[in-house]
Amino acid sequence: MKKFEKPRIVSSKCIEFEATRWNGDMIKSDFVAKLKEYVDFYPVCPEVEIGLGIPRDPIRVIDDKGELVLYQPSTEKDLTEKMVNFTDGFLDNKSEVDGFILKNKSPSCGIKAVRVYQGYGKGRPRNGYGFFGGEVLKRFPYLAVEDEGRLRNLKIREHFLTKLYTLASFRSVNESQNLKYLIDFHTNNKLLLSSYSSENTKKMGRIIAEQDMMDRTELFSKYEDIFRDTIKKDVERKFNINVLMHSMGYFKKELSSHEKSFFLDSIEKYRNGIYPLLVLQNILKSWSIRFENNYLGNQTFLEPYPEELIEITTVYE
């Protein structure tokens, strides 16, 4: 069984941990509940941390002549300074996490579609970010960051888990500063990284090839910079298809014409959104076992996260 590094995730505390929402509720998430067995969670509620009670009167983000303010209408309190100070202090100590799962549309934790009101009246709001969630995106654009609402989508769940476990694996290698571990990481992740950017993957390979021309610290630093630039992008379906086609080439002499035709037809179903990526990954995995292709069998592209988590990526909600 393949061994995976255990990811570290900061999560909004109101999602499956404690009833800390403004109305005293806790958000149910089958995804987060299942992940508890496989990741280390660091739950936090920024609103409670700055002294707001449970339950509490709602707060909102205000655009006050170009300056964002965190405001509680019922008490007319400006909570901006408290939230900024807490956010900075908390995130300063979270440089070694791999991802965030945050409450959607929250004025503190939201990362998309947060209502930003124009002034203190009843004007029509625009979309923006929460104070905590927006700072997370600013500081950690390369990490796996999502809200629990978007994670109901199959494609987003697949991408989130793939990115999360890749980041956790690299974090472990980076902490070791062991060159052999880095070479193994690059070798086993070559196809997966190519699905993000084949150009950047080649750049990382060249850095490793030039290992005798720089000291260990410089080598890891240069590799990390390009790795972060690579992983922060969303994988487009067409690039996954390129990797799938390339992978089929490893078996061009062994496969029958019917098998090739079946795989190509399955790729078209994936292209059109009928099949999830894991269907194609499993076909390739079965061929790597059947034809004893250890190189392809060791590629994380075929199994980017624990197979026990497949059930929460295949359920359409």
Q: Is 38 within 8 Å of 309 (Cβ atoms)? A: yes
Whole-number percent of the chain with pLDDT over 70: 98
Antiparallel, parallel or unpaired: β 114-118 and 60-64: parallel
Task: State yes or no: cis peptide before 55, omega within 30 of 0.
Answer: yes
Q: Residue ranges of the domains in the chain?
A: 8-150, 153-317
Give the mean pLDDT of 13-27: 97
How many whole angstroms separate alpha carbon 193 and alpha carbon 235?
10
Q: What is the residue-wise DSSP string for 164-212?
A: HHHHHHHHHHHHHT-HHHHHHHHHHTHHHHHHH-HHHHHHHHHHHHTGG
As a whole number, the mean pLDDT across the chain is 94
* Phi, psi torsion values for 127, nearest 5 degrees: -85, 140
With cut-offs at 50, 70 and 90, classify the pLDDT of residue 5: very high
Q: Quick one: pLDDT band at residue 314, thresholds 50, 70, 90?
A: low
User: In this predicted model, what pLDDT tens digit does every residue of 292-303 receive, in sequence order?
Assistant: 999 999 999 999
3-state secondary structure of 225: helix
Helix (H) or strand (E) holding 237: helix 237-248
**Prediction pTM value:** 0.94
pLDDT of residue 95: 81
129-138, 211-220, 291-300, 302-311: least confident range: 302-311
| Mean pLDDT, rounded, for 74-99 | 95
Quick one: pLDDT at residue 316? 41
